């Protein structure tokens, strides 16, 4: 199951503490991000032990358009993470929702 930009935006605005994993490159992350842990997709398989969460916690994987995060979601699932969601449409969808271009 994945998460829509609207759903994520509502949860952020309600002040919910979320486990966010941003799989974009470091430069992209520092240009614009919504927080969370940044592990670029190419490094994710070798840096899974860097994750701050246990395998049963909800983890929302984000990237620019939702493609890299979809791959990131599969990598986590293949490594035993049980509650992983991909941000549909990526951060672009979230930015459009908030009119922040």
pLDDT, tens digit (0-9, with 9 covering 90-100), for 2-13: 999 999 999 999
pLDDT, tens digit (0-9, with 9 covering 90-100), for 49-91: 999 899 999 999 999 999 999 999 999 999 999 999 999 999 9
Q: Which residues contact 61 (CB under 8 A, 6 or more apart)?
A: 21, 23, 69, 70, 72, 73, 76, 84, 85, 86, 87
Q: Which domain holds residue 70?
A: 5-97
Q: Report DSSP state, residue 33.
A: -
Grade residue 100 by pLDDT with cuts at 50, 70 and 90.
Answer: low
Count of the separate structural domains present in the chain: 1
pLDDT, tens digit (0-9, with 9 covering 90-100), for 14-58: 999 999 999 999 999 999 999 999 999 999 999 999 998 999 999
Looking up residue 61, the CATH number of its domain turns out to be 3.40.250.10
**pTM for the structure as a whole:** 0.95
Using an 8 Å Cβ cutoff, are 2 and 87 in contact?
yes
């Amino acid at each position: 199951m994945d998460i829509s930009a609207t759903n994520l935006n509502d949860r952020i605005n309600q002040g919910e503490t979320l486990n966010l994993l941003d799989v974009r490159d470091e430069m992209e992350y520092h240009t614009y991000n919504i927080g969370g842990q940044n592990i670029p997709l190419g490094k994710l398989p070798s840096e899974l032990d860097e994750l701050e969460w246990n395998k049963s916690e909800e983890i929302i994987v984000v990237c620019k358009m939702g493609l890299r995060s979809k791959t990131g979601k599969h990598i986590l699932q293949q490594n035993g993470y049980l509650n992983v969601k991909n941000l549909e449409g990526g951060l672009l969808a979230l930015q459009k929702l908030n009119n922040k271009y």
